[in-house]
Amino acid sequence: MATPTPITDIMTADPRTIERSQNLSEAYHTLKHAAFHHLIVLDGDDVVGMLATTDILRLAYDADGLAEQSLATYLDHQFNIADAMTETVRTLGVEATAKDAAEILAEGGFHSIVIIDADGGLAGIVTTTDLARFVVDKL
């Protein structure tokens, strides 16, 4: 039987975060120009939600056709981070395995898992993309 792969081998350490109090347009600009699609939402040191590109796009749907600057203004005047984020966040500890993450992501309700260290602090994130890369490396 193969040795379980630690979650720390496939996670993205030091993931990008955003404070719940920041403007939604800041999240939009970060995600628009990044190779990733999830921001962990913090309130101080506490993980309070997850914000994905698709969450913002759902809110911006009614603003289709606005110029970039107008869209940012629309987002900030109509919504805040809490309006867009998903409050239910799946977490695993750093002692978890890649299989643990795969089981959660295979359920289909989430596309990312927040990884928490032994002190309860943010250690990383595992996304469906991270898991797919792991599988490709194994095949």
Look at residue 64 and tell me whether its pLDDT is greater than 60. Answer: no
Look at residue 65 and tell me whether its pLDDT is greater than 70. Answer: no
pLDDT tier at 62, thresholds 50, 70, 90: low
Task: Give residue 46's pLDDT.
Answer: 92
Q: Where are the domains of the chain?
A: 7-138
- pTM for this entry: 0.85
Percent of residues, the chain, with pLDDT higher than 70: 92
- Rounded (10°) angle between helices 68-78 and 24-32: 140
pLDDT tier at 55, thresholds 50, 70, 90: confident
Q: In residues, how long is the chain?
A: 139
Task: Give residue 69's pLDDT.
Answer: 58
Span 7-138 CATH architecture: Roll (3.10)
pLDDT tier at 57, thresholds 50, 70, 90: confident
pLDDT tier at 108, thresholds 50, 70, 90: confident
